[in-house]
Amino acid sequence: IALIGELAAEGRTVVMVCHDRELINLPGVVRWKLGEGRLDTRHK
């Protein structure tokens, strides 16, 4: 988790698939959800 936070703080892009709330709730996370032929995003 620390590595993901460090990479994000440096402005790098990290793509991951997870259900871990600790990772999802990191600052700067953009959640992508694909459903019904649409890609929706939510920014934290």
d(CA 22, CA 40): 21
Percent of the chain with pLDDT strictly greater than 90: 16
Q: Which of 43, 3, 41, 1 is nearest to 22 (CA)?
A: 1
CB-based contact 15:30 (threshold 8 Å): no
Q: Tell me: pLDDT of 36 over 80.
A: yes
Domain map (residue ranges) of the chain = 2-43
Q: Tell me: pLDDT of 40 over 90.
A: yes
* pLDDT tier for residue 16 given thresholds of 50, 70 and 90: confident
Cα-to-chain-centroid distance, residue 11: 13
What is the pTM (predicted TM-score) of this model? Answer: 0.54
Q: How far apart are the first and last CA of the chain?
A: 17
Q: What is the mean pLDDT of the chain?
A: 85
* pLDDT tier for residue 28 given thresholds of 50, 70 and 90: confident
